[in-house]
A and B are shown apart, each in its own frame.
Chain A
Amino acid sequence: MRTRTLSTTKSLLPCALLLCSAGQAIADNGLNVYGFLNAGAYYLDEDDITIESYESGSPQFFNRDTMMGLQISKEISERTSATIQLTAKGEEDFAVRTSLAFISHALNDSTDIRFGRLRIPFFYYSEFLDVGYAYNWIRPTGDAYGIPFSDYNGADIIKRFSFDSFDGQIQLNYGRRDKEIVLFNEAYESELNNFAGATLNLYMGDFGLRVGMQQTQMTLDSAADMQTLIDVRTGTKTPDEALYDLAASGARRIDIAQTAATLLTNSMSEETKETFNFDDKKARYYNLATTWDNGDWSFIAETAIINFDSGLYVDNFAWLASLAKRFDALTIHTTYSTSRDRLDGGDVGKVQEMMMLRGEDESITLGMRYDLDEATAFKLEASHHIEETNQGLPGASGTLYRAALQLVF
């Protein structure tokens, strides 16, 4: 047995050396392969609330909060590299998407430019939103992070700087997104033109500050239904009947809203009428986040404000505050978050009120993260979600229980 092991070792040695040199060649070639994996289960105890796309009923396994990502970077020269990141999500039947695909070039030691497909740096966690291992929650709250798209094609420039005892980073980005968007589980063809933004990060000791703004001109293929408008204008149906029939026919939610808005704004100014569509309408995203982390205690407070020029989408003000305490491999955390829609003023606001677009909710989350090893975390979380207003009416409350295993490699 011993002899056999020895002879195996002998014969394996040249192979091992070969492997070593192959490994070295990979390292020398600057090829880096990284990945992340989230496997999650959840149970939502209340039918009448909506928390993103979590469904009530029996516990769900490896559907939502389940995904895998693979990232490959290759150094092309000392200053230039190429990166691709592919992701597959359980809720999308593991269809593979290209979430990052860019060339990065270092103009100097402190400035990088990137071209290609990038993630939109909306808020603090946006650029690594899918990487559960990178934060304490199973997923950042949908109150602030429920934006239905995350990537764009374009370029950004990142400049790092230091002054005395603080460091900072400025990121300027510009591009467009010409892809389907899924809203309320329905697909819309969309164009997000002139996607432009600026983000400033400052760090000093345990403190961090992030200020950011993004804006775009948004076009969706939503439209008012002509037949419904004709039925109402000719008196064939009452507005309520016509809209009910339109909804029953399976029309998309924003098409129904646009049809309703066309009827409601009939006697209003052209400006008000013109507000209720998604033809090249500006959307703006503002972010302010402060963080503090001394290794044992960590804290983040963040506001995420969205302002839509289209009356079909209501402006939203969301914020969260989260505190975490680490006990060696165990981290306990608690979070409060809230999302409040804000109706516009004047006639536009009146129409939004009639269309019952407003939602207001708050969530309290208690969770734990246990680091099984240097790259694997097990997490448990309970989020009590209170819907104060849902589509203009009083809502319900319920609790979402989640468990997940999240790792990086």
Chain B
Amino acid sequence: MKFIKALGMTTLLSLSAASWADIAVIVNLKNNNTYTGIDADLIERIYLGKASKFPDGTAAVPYDLAKGDSVREKFGRKILNKNPSQLHAYWSRSIFSGKKQPPREVGDADAMKAAVAADLNAIGYINAYAVDASVAVLYTIKD
């Protein structure tokens, strides 16, 4: 009985919460785009410095996790279609042309949440299980 109960809890949890390996794209709690949502294509364009606005026209300022972070690597492969070397080569073109700089980096999920909570225009991403009430989830990247 206990076992069945536990099984039921697990199923409930997996239905109600995001999978442990999902990535949540997060924004400030006051960001209006949580009503309309955003598609993966626009997230990619914002993170590659091509687009600079949310769907409602407000400025979007992307934040990245630090180089070497496994969530960053997964985000790069799934959303930006680039492995870390390709992403580095992509930004090298812009940096050494003296143009747009890559997104600002933060150390870990806590720093990401703090940065997003402090910046109305911020967009960031963290492991879905790290999401808390300080930020709003705009998009979930399924594992």
Which residues of A line the B interface, CB within 8 A? 32, 34, 36, 69, 71, 73, 83, 85, 100, 102, 104, 109-110, 112, 114, 118-119, 127-128, 130-131, 133-135, 158, 160, 162, 165, 167, 203, 205-206, 294-295, 326, 328-329, 371, 373-375, 377, 408
| Other-chain contact of B89, A133, A162, A328 (Cβ < 8 Å) | A133
Contact present for B41 and A205 (CB under 8 Å): yes
Q: How far is the CB of A232 from chain B (nearest CB, A)?
A: 50
Q: In angstroms, how far is the closest chain A Cβ from the Cβ of B91?
A: 9
B134 interface hit (Cβ, 8 Å): no
In the bound complex, CA of A112 to CA of B52 (Å): 13
8 A-B interface contacts by CB (under 8 A): A71-B95, A112-B99, A134-B93, A162-B50, A162-B51, A203-B50, A206-B81, A295-B82
A-binding residues in B (CB < 8 A): 41, 45, 50-53, 59, 67-68, 81-86, 88-89, 92-93, 95-99, 101
A158 touches B99 (CB 8 A): yes
A165 touches B41 (CB 8 A): yes
Indicate if the CB atoms of B92 and A133 lie closer than 8 Å: yes
If A36-B92, A165-B41 touch, whether A100 touches B98 (CB-CB below 8 Å) is yes
A294 touches B81 (CB 8 A): yes
Asked if A128 contacts B50 (CB within 8 A), the reply is no
Name which residue of chain A comes closest to B86, CB basis: A295
Do B67 and A69 touch across chains, with their CB atoms under 8 A apart? no
Besides A34-B96, A71-B95, A374-B88, 5 other A-B contacts (C-beta < 8 A)? A36-B96, A114-B98, A128-B93, A135-B89, A374-B67
Leading 8 A-B pairs by shortest Cβ distance: A295-B81, A127-B97, A371-B85, A167-B50, A134-B92, A374-B84, A131-B96, A134-B93
Cβ contacts under 8 Å, B83 to chain A: 295, 328-329, 371
**Known interface pairs A133-B89, A134-B89, A134-B93; A160-B52 also in contact (CB < 8 Å):** yes
Kindly report which residue of chain B lies nearest to residue A167, judged by CB atoms: B50
Q: How distant is the Cα of A71 from the Cα of B85 in the complex, in angstroms?
A: 20
The reply to whether A329 and B101 form a contact with Cβ atoms under 8 Å apart is: no
B88 A375 Cβ-Cβ under 8 A: yes
How far does the alpha carbon of A109 sit from the alpha carbon of B92 in the complex, in Å? 21
Interchain CB contact under 8 A, A69 and B96: yes
Chain B positions within 8 Å of A85 at CB level: 96, 98
Pick from B45, B84, B98: contact of A162, CB under 8 Å: B45
State whether B45 touches A167 (Cβ < 8 A).
yes
Please indicate the chain B residues that have their CB under 8 angstroms from the CB of A206 in the complex.
Answer: 81
Given contacts A165-B41, A203-B50, A295-B82, contact A128 B88 (CB under 8 A): no
Contacts of B88 in A (CB 8 A): 133, 374-375, 408
Q: How far is the CB of B37 from chain A (nearest CB, A)?
A: 15
Contact A34 B85 (CB under 8 A): no
Which chain B positions have C-beta within 8 A of A205?
41
User: In the complex, what residues of B have CB within 8 A of residue A160's CB?
Assistant: 50, 52
In the complex, the answer to whether A119 meets B97 with C-beta atoms within 8 Å is: yes
Give A35 to B25 CA distance when docked, in angstroms.
31
A210 to chain B, nearest CB (A): 12
Known: A114-B98, A162-B51. A131 touches B92 (CB 8 A): yes
